[in-house]
Amino acid sequence: MSEQKRTREQRRKELQQKKQPKKPIKLWIKRIFVTVLALGIVGLIAGGSLFAYYASTAPELDEKSLKDPISPKLLDANGEVFATVGSESREHVPYDQIPQQMEDAILATEDVRFYDHMGVDFLRLGKAVLANFTSGFGSQGASTLTQQVIKNSFLTNEKTLKRKAQEAYLAIQLERKYEKEEIFEMYFNKILMSGRIYGFGTASKYFYGKELKDLTLDQYAVLAGMPQSPNNYNPFKNPELAEKRRNIVLHLMNLHGKITEEEMKTAQAVPIEEGLLPEEQRVARQDSKYDAFIDIVLDELEKNGDGDAISEGITIHTTLQPEAQQTVESTLNSDMFPSEKIQSAIAVIDTKTGAIAAVGGGRNYGAERGFNFAQDMNVRSPGSTIKPLIDYGPAVEYLNWSTGQTIVDEKIKYTGTDQVVRNFDGKYKGEMTMREALYNSRNVPAVKTLQEVGTKNAKEFINRFGIDLGDVTESSAIGGTSKAMSPIQMAGAYAAFGNSGMHTEPYAINKIVYRDGKTEKNYRPESKPVMKDSTAYIVTDILRDVMTIGTGKRAAVSGLDIAGKSGTSNYDANQMKEWNLPDSAFPDVWFAGYTTNYSIAVWSGYPELKTPMTTNEERYLPQHIFKEVMANISDGTNTERFKKPSSVVEATIEVGTDPLQLASDYTPDNLKSTELFVKGTEPTTVSEEYKQLELDAPSNLSVDYDEITSTATLSWDFKKPEEMETDVQFEVSVAIDNGPSEVLQTTNQQGLIVQSLIPGSTYVFSVTAVSDEIRSEPASISLTLDAVEEVNPEDNPSDDIDENEGNENGNGNGNNNGNGNGQGNGQGNGTGTGDGNSNGEDGTNTGDDGTNTTPDDGQEETNPDGTTSGEDSSTTP
């Protein structure tokens, strides 16, 4: 029953639930719609209020600002203004003098509905968003010409809601106040075209040397395409990019019905260079200041997306060091150049920060010269200046090579070819260290080093510097790269060697400050390690030798610790033949060097590759320029020396050992070399190639005593070792009656005569062979003389004695050293065993006539006290 009851209760509840009314789905839809509508209204009100607020804070329209560009200020590293870009004279063109085709090209590219909208083109805004996904032409952005005039006249380039709101509001106000033709004229004359060129009329004169009315359709298209990216589409600097952009403009003109397809194709077929003003006709402005550096600044703005900002009154804080820039410009415009047409470029970089201190874009560089050799020249071979960057730097980094690594300079061929690798002097010098190979700039060792490193590692290493040299091959080891680098890149890369392996991409702008004086944008790139500090120092230490004993001696500056490398490129066989060049021809010369303060790269050559250099004056020009600039900018400043890091150690090795071994005590000095090693890789084994040279003791030592002359004749034999290169001499010493041994004489003869021996004494003679610091064991022999019996004066009357002969036995009162050479009344040098008085009464002459006897065998005569007499000197004990 209970189970049936529970079932009924459950059924009752279910019935009650079924009787409750359902909420219709339409009710939920209605609620959602009302909510969205309410939010929309709130949002619209809030947005409108915000727009109204932003509009109320917008600046007033000012006719002067509308018609004239607002020039930016450029500040040097000291915070001083050195230029106001855009203040140069401009070519103003009234609307009625603007050619129709020029207007058509601009409108087709920038604002095709210009005459239909009221300042803001909402239809174009939608299409622009869609074009980001569908259009490959890069034809138009969201801003109208009117909005661009407003932005360039009153607002900043920042992408904020406030700026867009104010831009739209002011654009509508501008359309109400001015006619369309007046607004177009404003845009036409104030838009940035390239560098410091404002307005289409100025650009026409600058690029083509003509009035606008004299240009052709393709030339109108070139100019119309430039405002989107002024410096990138500069036909002087980037003709390929300019040509692509021109063809897009022509396509858009055809698309919008401004020209026919036939006209489009005809104009697209015209070479981009046709009609451009030749370089020799581009007159440089002589009243402008630091033009090459300013060009670098403008390019950097463009690179960072702020190319249009220079027309917005920004303040640019640069890295320029005015004194360095003045030194660079005065050097490039000096009379040190061997010809009028030869060109040079200089880049001066702060070694520690990467900041560009000064730039020399070329000789007599001016505001209207389009090609900046310091930055734009990236198609000329770097020559041997590449060797530290893709040969020896990677060898130390990846292989832990030391400066003493052995390389053989010998005849080789590039792998898989019959082309021989040649050195600049046409010679091969055999075995040498890595240090010698680099400071003497030998090509064969460089190629061999790259082979050991591997082209993959070499490319990875150079790419760390942000430099693309294309595919790295064996010929790249000596400058044969498919792509090249500019002097600015070169100086920046070398700076890393002087900065413990830290590299900062070279930069010319510290920051920019917008017109409001508050909004800033930082431009300083971050430093990053590109190599170990051991690699940086080891390469630096070798490049120091370049300045003192290598190929860069002409660039050395007294008192400065400088490391550097020279470089010279060559023509290939086809170029030599095609241009009929002499054997002495070369197209490019470089020098790159650095201190702890500055890194400088200098290039010299002729603008056209086929114009060769042939003289030593041209070859060494970059070194002379480097020396002049480095000496001047370093004068009066403290330049620290390069410091060896703890990761590098020194060791004296024996040159030629493989693997390297420490020099032994017996290694010849000419084979000893103190080299640098990455700590932990230095050799610990001592070379056994050279052992101590030993000298045998002299043999067959003999002594003959002559009682009549009281002399002893020593003689001996000796055989010199074949491997010994130095001379051998003989040190003769004597000890008398067990006294101390004293050196009598050192001789190169194999014999010696000793005079004035004393009867009754015992003499021990020793002979030692000596060569430098090597000594043999002594050979010794003794001689004992019998004592002479005393003679009774009564048995030998004095008047029977010849006063010229003296006492023949010499047993007077003389001491052992005989006072040297006491003379008797006779002629010769007596063997003064007496007191050596002038009468020679107690002396004994060596001959009956009192003269010396000279040995027939060339032996020297010597006295035991070391004194000598006569040409073949003798010594008395």
Euclidean distance between CA atoms 683 and 659, whole angstroms: 8
Alpha carbons 603 and 485: distance in angstroms, whole number = 11
Residues 6+ apart with CB under 8 A from 620: 554, 589
Q: Is 110 a catalytic residue?
A: yes
How far is the C-alpha of 318 from the C-alpha of 293, rounded, in Å? 10
The count of residues in the chain is 877
Query: What is the per-residue DSSP string for 732-758?
Result: EEEEETT---EEEEEESSSEEEE--PP
578 and 613 Cβ atoms separated by less than 8 Å = no
- Cα 733 to Cα 745: distance, rounded to the nearest angstrom: 7
Cis peptide before 94 (omega within 30 of 0): no
**Cβ 377 vs Cβ 237: under 8 Å:** no
Q: Are strands 520-522 and 343-350 parallel, antiparallel or unpaired?
A: unpaired
Ranges of H-type helices in 230-272 = 239-255, 261-268
Of 384, 634, 673, 776, the active-site residue reads 384
Distances in whole angstroms, Cα of residue 224 to Cα of each of 174, 188, 203, 220, 490: 23, 10, 10, 6, 35
**Inter-residue contact 128 to 135 (CB < 8 Å):** no
Residue with tokens 């026409």: 204
- Residue 614: CB atoms within 10 Å: 13
> Is 384 annotated as catalytic?
yes
Nearest one of 216, 225, 229, 261 to 243, comparing CA atoms: 225
Strands in 73-221 per DSSP E: 73-75, 81-84, 192-194, 197-198
Task: Tell me if residue 463 falls in helix, strand or coil.
Answer: helix
Helix (H, G, I), strand (E, B) or coil at 595: coil
Residue with structure tokens 């060109």? 343
- Rounded to a whole number of angstroms, the CA Rg of the chain reads 47
- Nearest CA-CA partner of 484 in 569, 397, 564, 576: 569
Cβ neighbour number for residue 546 with a 10 Å cutoff: 25
Q: Are strands 860-862 and 751-754 parallel, antiparallel or unpaired?
A: parallel
Backbone angles phi, psi at 777, to 5 degrees: -70, 145
Q: Which of 71, 103, 110, 534 is catalytic?
A: 110
Dist CA 562 CA 263 (whole Å) = 60
- Helix locations, 568-669, DSSP H: 573-578, 616-619, 621-634
Please say whether the beta carbons of 855 and 862 come within 8 A: no
Q: Cβ distance 93 to 201 under 8 Å?
A: yes
Q: Active-site positions?
A: 110, 384
